[in-house]
Structure 1
Amino acid sequence: MTEAQKKTASKMTLFAITWPIFIEILLHMLMGNADTLMLSQYDDDSVAAVGVSNQIMSVIIVMFGFVAAGTTILIAQNLGAKKYERAGIIAVVSIVANIFLGLLLSIGLFLFGEQILTLMNIPEELIDIALIYLQIVGGFAFVQALIMTLSAVIKSHGFTKDAMYVTLGMNVLNVIGNYIFIFGAFGAPELGATGVAMSTAFSRALGTVVLFAVLYRRVQGDLPWKKTFSTFPKQEFADLFRIGIPAAGEQLSYNASQMVITYFIASMGTVALTTRVYTINIVMFAFLFSIAIGQGTQILVGHMIGEKRYEDAYQRAMKSLGIGAGVSVFVSFLFMVFSDQLFSIFTDNQDIIQLGGILLIITVILEPGRAANLIIINTLRAAGDVRYPVYIGILSMWGVAVLVSYMAGIWFGLGLIGIWIAMTLDEWLRGLLMIRRWRQGKWRNMSFVDRNEQKADNE
């Protein structure tokens, strides 16, 4: 580890780590909002089609995330324990693993996109638009896999600002591309949703190139490319899968349950689908800070676990939860107050504006539960407790979110309001159970660094 890297690690505080992550996630959200906002000026059907396609892409991204999740936790724990070479080996293994996984899923999305959309019960008038978007963005899914892994390596070393700057550049390029190809500016063809897909794919591809350059500059000296594969890195792969598969399992369960719920919403018509897309684009900003503080806390807790500072890790998580929940509730309350103005940015359809306003009222109640999930689940993973969130997640997402969505939304005829109530119950149940698990302290004996040391001693 270089002196610059050690200096960066020594200055890691929650604020220093979190604010660039906050800006980075904000920029990612703005990229999605820019797509939705610019498409809304073109055609509401395109908004709904892209929204369903992105629901599918979110599941694919979870598949990449299982490697990235393991990367962040393992590198943070090993850097905290001052095992720098092992941290480098984990980084190399992660990058190679996600390249192969990304290529495999990209080919699958390109070849079987139509069949996937058909399973989603998407309205017939939207399927052609959604398919073109999914084939372009999905065909370049391997690029997103690389972005996630490279960012995880860079941020785990404390260089969160570098990832933020790259994301800023991708956003600027994406918005420019949207303007040119959605509306046919500067003599370009008017492509609508297809133009959004092209712009998204190109900006991500260029961002990947820049992230590789950042990786070379910041941590290249700690990445033993040749040594890593001189013998098969069995232990590193095992640790990545041991963390990543349960972490991805929880996220995959969530996204799969959301796809089923989207299937329910699709049966309610295009207005319901479009309202959902606009509402999600608004409420994402309410839980944005919880996402950022959850990721920042995960890095800090990972380092603390590597250093065996268990009480500091416990206190850090609880303080982070209070901050994240408070900010999320405050922002969601503001959105509720100004709901008409916010929805009017996207559409003049009064049915969408009125229904969206009701959903924002429910969101104020939903947010504290979601904050507990986003923050405490990340800290449990950082400490090595990766299975419990999956077990609880599967039970609650399907037993509460999906089941109650069907009963309240379709059976009792409450529509999208019933679905939002179901999501609130799910988030609160999981959130309370995650807090209980963290306070019990079973994670104190689950560090992967400690496990490997004990294994080596036994051998």
Structure 2
Amino acid sequence: MTLFALTWPIFIEIMLHMIMGNADTLMLSQYDDDAVAAVGVSNQIMSVIIVMFGFVATGTTILISQHLGADQRDKAGGFAVVSIAANICSGLMLSLVLFFFGPQILHAMNLPAELMDTALIYLRIVGGFAFVQALIMTLGAIIKSHGFTKDAMYVTLGMNFLNVIGNAVLIFGFFGAPELGATGVAISTAGSRIIGTVILFIVLYRRVQGDLPWSMLIHKFPKEELKDLFRIGIPTAGEHLSYTSSQMVITFFIASMGTVELTARVYVMNITMFAFLFAVAIGQGTQIMVGHLIGENRQREAYRRCLRSLKIGLAVSTSAAVLFAVFRLEILSIFSENPEIIELGSILLLLTIVLEPGRAFNLIVINSLRAAGDVRFPVYIGILSMWGVAVSVSYTAGIWLGLGLVGVWLAMILDEWLRGLLMLWRWQSKKWEQMSFIRKSRDQ
């Protein structure tokens, strides 16, 4: 198991996810800029819901990786089964919340009245099938933790293809289909995810079925397995939830600035996803490797693995950010013809050169800390920095000082760099060496 062998399929998989989101935005931008803004706000809400699923998936990745490293395949399989059941239950509950309480949630986001109907339809369709996304995250985590990262990549490729075809047909009414706009995007997104989930179950059956004790769900309530998943997953989710919640508050600030700022943010966020794409892939691959190394009781190799991955991630993500900044006008012109949006987006893409290295620290080092069992420190620092720096400075610089969206981006830069440097200090302190879940199991 090498970093490259794990990372390149993860890179392709995440890139395909990004392309899917960008395809939605790009194709919808040819239909209506207001629809882009409405879908962007709805997806901001969905990102919070995904965090609720992610805490189980993240705990699954860490526990399966460590137990596979320790050659405890039966325990790894038990955690996989429990995580699937847990995310199905939580996914169904959250899907119902999004469907029935969508209007109240969107009003709380301070959404402009002209965007409300479009955003609500999208949220009810995509959110109503949120449990499907929960399954995709859990199944993907199990498959990748076993080293089959290419399988997850192929499934994502198929989902991406189906989504683009569905968008073309349902947004613009090709082949005699109704012209549905944002509603068509929602239907296409939900449909491709459903098909992807079915295929992931087939992959799971073929790859690791023999290691999955489904009968344990019948014989007893998996109290200990859930306890262990929550012990790792809940603190991890706390850091993600803090980030996404703070971003929702910042979106509230941006919404008060106007539709131009809201739309520019959606376009720039979709573009800059590719700038830190490399660091995300390296971070996930490193997490799997560090988890296995910790399970094998090879802490020294795990320490070096994280630092080597960080150097690679910093170099590549910064280079990507520079590339997007150089061609900022050409890229933004693809998404919009509005000169205000292009001018504002150009400034933000220049600031991205400073933003992305800070993100790389967080994406790679935090994943390594989690894989080693140090899940609480990122939460404490994240809450302090995201709310004490990102939110407070966004309001102060963006609204009070009148810098608008530029002030928000400056706040994001300060937040990412502060957290990133503190995470590096934590890793170098090696306090995580005594936090391995496998070590605790052995001691007991």
TM-score normalised according to structure 2 size:
0.99
Match of 1:444 in 2: 433
Identify unmatched segments of 5+ residues in structure 2. Answer: none
Secondary structure (helix, strand or coil) at the match of 1:267 reads helix
Match of 1:84 in 2: 73
Q: Distance in 2 between matches of 1:21 and 1:46?
A: 31
Match of 1:140 in 2: 129
Match of 1:252 in 2: 241
- Residue 183 of structure 2 corresponds to residue 199 of structure 1: no
Q: Distance in 2 between matches of 1:185 and 1:248?
A: 41
CA contact (8 A) 2:98 2:124 kept: yes
Cα drift, residue 274 of structure 1: 0.3
Please list the CA deviations of residues 150-186 of structure 1 after superposition, one character each: whole Å capped at 9, or x if unmatched: 0000000000000000000000000000000000000
Please list the CA deviations of residues 167-211 of structure 1 after superposition, one character each: whole Å capped at 9, or x if unmatched: 000000000000000000001000000000000000000000000
CA contact (8 A) 1:102 1:145 kept: yes
CA contact (8 A) 2:68 2:76 kept: yes
Cα drift, residue 228 of structure 1: 4.9
Please list the CA deviations of residues 431-455 of structure 1 after superposition, one character each: whole Å capped at 9, or x if unmatched: 0000000000000011111112212
Q: Percent identity?
A: 73
Cα drift, residue 227 of structure 1: 3.2
Please, which of 368, 372, 384 is the counterpart of residue 379 of structure 1?
Answer: 368
Q: List aligned pairs for 1:179-218, cutoff 5 A.
A: 179-218=168-207
Please list the CA deviations of residues 237-266 of structure 1 after superposition, one character each: whole Å capped at 9, or x if unmatched: 111001100111100100000000000000
Match of 1:368 in 2: 357
Match of 1:285 in 2: 274
Please list the CA deviations of residues 275-304 of structure 1 after superposition, one character each: whole Å capped at 9, or x if unmatched: 000000110000000000000000000000
CA contact (8 A) 2:254 2:261 kept: yes
Match of 1:221 in 2: 210
Secondary structure (helix, strand or coil) at the match of 2:257 reads coil
Paired letter, 1:201 = A
Cα drift, residue 45 of structure 1: 0.3
Paired letter, 2:425 = R
Match of 1:429 in 2: 418
Q: Distance in 1 between matches of 2:56 and 2:140?
A: 12
- Residue 287 of structure 2 corresponds to residue 298 of structure 1: yes
Cα drift, residue 234 of structure 1: 1.9
Q: Distance in 1 between matches of 2:89 and 2:217?
A: 17
Please, which of 6, 9, 14 is the counterpart of residue 3 of structure 2?
Answer: 14
CA contact (8 A) 1:246 1:390 kept: yes
CA contact (8 A) 2:13 2:156 kept: yes
Match of 1:64 in 2: 53
Secondary structure (helix, strand or coil) at the match of 1:299 reads helix
Q: Distance in 2 between matches of 1:281 and 1:92?
A: 34
Q: Distance in 2 between matches of 1:119 and 1:88?
A: 41
Paired letter, 2:156 = T
CA contact (8 A) 2:362 2:423 kept: yes
Q: Distance in 1 between matches of 2:108 and 2:350?
A: 32
Match of 1:7 in 2: none
Q: Distance in 2 between matches of 1:347 and 1:21?
A: 30
TM-score normalised according to structure 1 size:
0.96
Please, which of 202, 205, 219 is the counterpart of residue 230 of structure 1?
Answer: 219
Secondary structure (helix, strand or coil) at the match of 1:335 reads helix
Please, which of 85, 101, 108 is the counterpart of residue 96 of structure 1?
Answer: 85
Match of 1:346 in 2: 335
Match of 1:404 in 2: 393
Match of 2:326 in 1: 337
Paired letter, 2:40 = G
Q: Distance in 1 between matches of 2:217 and 2:305?
A: 34
Q: Distance in 2 between matches of 1:185 and 1:234?
A: 51
Secondary structure (helix, strand or coil) at the match of 1:225 reads coil
Q: Distance in 2 between matches of 1:52 and 1:326?
A: 32
Paired letter, 2:5 = A
CA contact (8 A) 2:216 2:222 kept: no
CA contact (8 A) 1:89 1:228 kept: no
Paired letter, 1:189 = P
Q: Distance in 1 between matches of 2:135 and 2:428?
A: 35
Cα drift, residue 65 of structure 1: 0.1
Please, which of 332, 346, 349 is the counterpart of residue 357 of structure 1?
Answer: 346
Q: Distance in 2 between matches of 1:219 and 1:271?
A: 49
Q: Distance in 1 between matches of 2:262 and 2:124?
A: 21
Match of 1:166 in 2: 155
Please list the CA deviations of residues 105-124 of structure 1 after superposition, one character each: whole Å capped at 9, or x if unmatched: 00000000010000000100
Paired letter, 1:62 = V
- Residue 128 of structure 2 corresponds to residue 128 of structure 1: no
Cα drift, residue 233 of structure 1: 2.2
Q: Distance in 1 between matches of 2:162 and 2:222?
A: 38
Secondary structure (helix, strand or coil) at the match of 2:95 reads helix
Cα drift, residue 230 of structure 1: 1.9
Q: How many residues align?
A: 444
Match of 2:381 in 1: 392
Cα drift, residue 71 of structure 1: 0.3
Match of 1:111 in 2: 100
Q: Distance in 2 between matches of 1:433 and 1:78?
A: 29
Q: Distance in 1 between matches of 2:197 and 2:395?
A: 40
Paired letter, 2:62 = I
Q: Distance in 2 between matches of 1:273 and 1:233?
A: 45
Q: Distance in 1 between matches of 2:150 and 2:357?
A: 28
Match of 1:4 in 2: none
Cα drift, residue 232 of structure 1: 2.4
Paired letter, 1:309 = R
Match of 1:313 in 2: 302
